């Protein structure tokens, strides 16, 4: 459908410092046009919400136009990157897209840019450097850092814009990201939109009264400044200087804008928590009417009124169009979860001759191959550079590929994962090591909500490999966990769990060429469990499929990770002692699950055993049992057997740990009891 033609002035979305000097009146007129459009459209969205035409959380940007419109006009939309927040509708409409497309998003109709999978302000335009916010405030700072860095690595002199409010300034992500940006000298403008409230919470309940947020910049070694609520033209000049400085120095800057929230937190907010007279004070402080009056004085009332009338008419035409767009269809929705698999990367057929390697060395060889053959790959994590990682999996990679490709990160799993997401969505291929899988809980939001939902929400690929050294090797509750069922209870994540050096090598290649976030579980007990031949394997993509490790007709056993080896021993014993041959599978890939071969095997054996190291309740085995049983017409010959760790935190002492997780003898005992 053709969109209504916008008033000519709205064809201009760029403002440069020189324009402000040379053509001040034209520049101010342009700023006003976009501010009026933002305010009027925002007000109409609020009315449409009240009429029941729009649903969800309409968080208006009324009162914030004076800073976000100049900022968006000043940014270089050909290269800069941004993630707008819920007060930034004015910036969104300047940045890109026709107003009708923005309205389609709000109406959540069939043409919505998020395919109606996300609502309201939760969208962007990833093809043009605008990355969609998730609700979790502060969480978009990391991705902006990564996307800005990615642009620089591609040779584009970009600036990144990261926004957060006075309330969000309390989140860990914001602090982690400011430290990271300063440490890495990333060209990012952090903007605190301080509007005095976080929903109903005033500043004095958010941080110590009298704290000036911009002064926090000094603590991170970056410049900070405040921009007081005021004239949009003046604001444009101040912001232009900041943007130019960040662009030329590649140092981050923190700008606290003291702004306004004219319509409460969201469309449904009654605002009854505001002290008497506060709303009136907000109205009186709104920069828009004063700006309008100054333009009327400069340009005459006729020009301003005519502009407003043309914009208001245009808004109505766009609303009419958006209302007429059909409701969305759920067809294809499930297929949209993952980004499609790209064709196999043309890897060099090397190493051709097998080399005997431990699994740690095989992982290292796989990562080295990725770094050598894919220049867009980047390896990051704690102590992974000169030290080579806590388990030496990245040993020597720093020496070989240098700091730009292989580097240490601070202890900031959330911001660093956010940063990796930013790299990934902008065209790089990060491989991030968590020192222990356990510490990935610090980045749960980034992994499960930001990365995992990215493609579904925005159609953007997020090719990210997260390496997770997991499993119990005598280190207690915080260095031993198996987190697959925690992470995989959320949609949008792929996961591989190799059990031997060749599979680990293959898994690195398969994961690194996928266009989705992939968890690579690496059991620490397998890192140095002997050396085995590893070579280039043209069938490396089989890492995504289970492998039959043993043939049998008595029962089908499904396992993965270190338990593969334990299961092999147990099956040998049972075959020798009980003459019962168990067919065993190494699952290898936990998501997406392909159980077709396993289901066929259960069809032959009629019995199912699932064995894993993760805890039993809500454990991954429950999913396997359910799926295999669901897929069968006939009942099993006997109840399915689940063997897993106890429902406890992983205990420390080796005697306790041994009792906690399945051992070879425990497996034999449980299986033989079950057989009888």
Residues engaged in binding Mg ion (CB under 5 A): 165-167, 195, 197-198
Residues between 115 and 144 that touch ligand TPP (CB under 6 A): 135-137
Annotated active-site residue 413? The verdict is: yes
- In the list 48, 198, 242, 486, the residue contacting ligand TPP (rule: CB under 6 A) is 198
Non-local CB neighbours of 462 within 8 Å, separated by 6+ positions: 339, 421, 424, 425, 451, 454, 455, 515, 516, 517
* Closest-CA residue to 34 (of 75, 79, 82, 78): 75
Annotated active-site residue 532? The verdict is: no
| Residues 54-93 as x/- pattern, contact with ligand TPP by CB under 6 A | ---------------------------------x------
The DSSP secondary-structure symbol of 125 reads: B
- The partner residues of 559 in beta bridges, in order of sequence, read 586
Non-local CB neighbours of 257 within 8 Å, separated by 6+ positions: 67, 191, 192, 193, 194, 226, 227, 229, 235
Closer to Mg ion by CB, 197 or 527: give it: 197
Say how many residues touch ligand TPP, by CB under 6 A. 17
Closer to ligand TPP by CB, 167 or 381: give it: 167
Q: Which of 65, 118, 413, 433 is catalytic?
A: 413
- In the list 70, 165, 287, 418, the residue contacting ligand TPP (rule: CB under 6 A) is 165
Asked if 179 contacts 208 with a C-beta cutoff of 8 angstroms, the reply is: no
Closer to ligand TPP by CB, 150 or 194: give it: 194
Closer to Mg ion by CB, 54 or 198: give it: 198
Count other C-beta atoms under 10 Å from residue 490's C-beta.
13
Radius of gyration of the chain from its Cα atoms, rounded to whole angstroms = 28
Q: Does 167 bind ligand TPP (CB under 6 A)?
A: yes
Return d(Cα 661, Cα 664) in angstroms, integer: 10
Cα 103 vs. chain centroid, distance in angstroms?
25
Residue 588 interface partner, choices ligand TPP, Mg ion, none, CB cut-off 5-8 Å depending on type? none
Closer to ligand TPP by CB, 197 or 419: give it: 197
Residue 113 interface partner, choices Mg ion, ligand TPP, none, CB cut-off 5-8 Å depending on type? none
Residue 295 interface partner, choices Mg ion, ligand TPP, none, CB cut-off 5-8 Å depending on type? none
Tokens matching residue 180:
């990271």
Residues between 239 and 298 that touch ligand TPP (CB under 6 A): 261, 265
* Closest-CA residue to 53 (of 322, 328, 329, 330): 322
- In the list 168, 358, 377, 502, the residue contacting ligand TPP (rule: CB under 6 A) is 168
Non-local CB neighbours of 549 within 8 Å, separated by 6+ positions: 564, 568, 584, 585, 586
Closer to ligand TPP by CB, 266 or 535: give it: 266
Q: Which stretch binds ligand TPP (CB under 6 A): 189-197, 315-323, 357-365, 620-628?
A: 189-197
Q: Which residue is nearest to ligand TPP (CB)?
A: 165
- In the list 92, 105, 109, 195, the residue contacting ligand TPP (rule: CB under 6 A) is 195
Task: Categorise residue 178: left if φ over 0, alpha if ψ from -120 to 50, beta otherwise.
Answer: alpha
Instruction: Give CA separation, 198 vs 47, 204, 212, 272, 505, in Å.
Output: 23, 11, 16, 14, 48
Residue 137 interface partner, choices ligand TPP, Mg ion, none, CB cut-off 5-8 Å depending on type? ligand TPP
Q: How far is the CB of 234 from Mg ion (least distance, A)?
A: 22
Non-local CB neighbours of 529 within 8 Å, separated by 6+ positions: 358, 359, 565
Chain residues in the site for ligand TPP (CB under 6 A): 87, 135-137, 164-168, 171, 193, 195, 197-199, 261, 265
Active-site residues: which are they?
A: 413, 479
């Amino acid at each position: 459908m053709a969109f209504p033609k916008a008033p000519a002035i709205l064809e201009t979305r760029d403002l440069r410092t020189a324009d402000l000097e040379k053509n001040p009146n034209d520049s101010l007129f342009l700023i006003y046009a976009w501010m009026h459009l933002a305010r009027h459209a925002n007000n109409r969205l609020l009315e449409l919400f009240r009429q029941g035409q729009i649903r969800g959380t309409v968080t208006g940007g009324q009162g914030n136009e004076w800073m976000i419109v100049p900022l968006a006009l000043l940014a270089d939309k050909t290269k800069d990157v941004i993630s707008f927040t819920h007060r930034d509708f004015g910036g969104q409409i300047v940045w890109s897209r026709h107003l009708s497309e923005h309205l389609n998003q709000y109406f959540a109709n069939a043409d919505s840019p998020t395919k109606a999978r996300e609502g309201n302000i939760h969208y962007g335009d990833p093809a043009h450097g605008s990355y969609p916010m998730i609700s979790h405030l502060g969480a978009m700072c990391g991705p902006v850092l990564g996307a800005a860095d990615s642009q620089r690595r591609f040779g584009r002199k970009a600036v990144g814009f990261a926004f957060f409010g006075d309330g969000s300034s309390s989140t860990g992500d914001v602090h982690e990201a400011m430290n990271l940006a300063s440490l890495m000298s990333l060209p990012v403008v952090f903007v605190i939109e301080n509007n005095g409230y976080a929903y109903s919470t005033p500043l004095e309940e958010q941080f110590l009264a009298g704290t000036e947020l911009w002064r926090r910049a000094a603590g991170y070694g970056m410049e900070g400044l405040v921009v007081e609520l005021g004239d949009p033209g003046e604001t444009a000049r101040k912001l232009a200087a900041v943007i130019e400085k960040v662009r030329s120095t590649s140092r981050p800057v923190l700008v606290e804008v003291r702004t306004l929230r004219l319509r409460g937190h969201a469309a449904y907010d009654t605002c009854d928590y505001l002290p008497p007279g506060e709303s009136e004070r907000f109205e009186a402080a709104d920069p828009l009417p004063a700006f309008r009056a100054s333009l009327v004085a400069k340009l005459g009332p006729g020009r301003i009124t005519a502009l407003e009338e043309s914009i208001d008419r245009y808004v109505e035409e766009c609303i009419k169009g958006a209302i007429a767009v059909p409701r969305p269809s759920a067809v294809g929705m499930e297929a949209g979860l993952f980004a499609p698999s790209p064709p196999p990367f043309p890897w060099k057929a090397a190493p051709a001759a097998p080399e005997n390697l431990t699994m740690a060395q095989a992982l290292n060889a796989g990562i080295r191959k990725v770094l050598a053959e894919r220049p867009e790959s980047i390896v990051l994590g704690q102590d992974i550079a000169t030290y080579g990682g806590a388990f030496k999996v990245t040993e020597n990679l720093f020496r070989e590929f240098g700091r730009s490709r292989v580097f240490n990160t601070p202890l900031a799993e959330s911001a660093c994962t956010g940063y990796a997401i930013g790299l990934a969505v902008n065209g790089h291929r990060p491989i991030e090591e968590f020192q222990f899988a356990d510490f990935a809980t610090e980045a749960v939001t980034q992994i499960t909500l930001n990365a995992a939902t990215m493609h579904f929400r925005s159609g953007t690929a997020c090719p990210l490999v997260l390496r997770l050294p997991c499993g119990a090797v005598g280190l207690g509750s915080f260095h031993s966990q198996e987190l697959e069922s925690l992470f995989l209870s959320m949609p949008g994540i792929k996961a591989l769990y190799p059990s031997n050096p060749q599979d680990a090598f293959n898994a690195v290649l398969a994961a690194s060429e996928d266009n989705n976030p992939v968890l690579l579980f690496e059991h620490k007990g397998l890192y140095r469990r002997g050396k085995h031949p590893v070579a280039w394997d043209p069938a490396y993509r089989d890492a995504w499929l289970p492998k039959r490790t043993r043939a049998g007709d008595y029962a089908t056993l499904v396992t993965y990770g270190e338990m593969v080896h334990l299961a092999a021993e147990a099956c040998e014993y049972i075959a020798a002692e009980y003459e019962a041959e168990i067919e065993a599978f190494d699952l290898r890939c936990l998501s997406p699950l392909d159980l077709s071969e396993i289901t066929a095997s259960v069809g032959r054996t009629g019995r199912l055993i699932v064995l894993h190291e993760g805890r039993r309740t809500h454990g991954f085995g429950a999913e396997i049992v359910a799926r295999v049983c669901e897929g069968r017409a006939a009942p099993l010959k006997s109840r399915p057997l689940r063997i897993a760790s106890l429902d406890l935190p992983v205990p420390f002492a080796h005697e306790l740990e041994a009792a906690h997780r399945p051992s070879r003898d425990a497996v034999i005992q449980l299986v033989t009891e079950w057989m009888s």
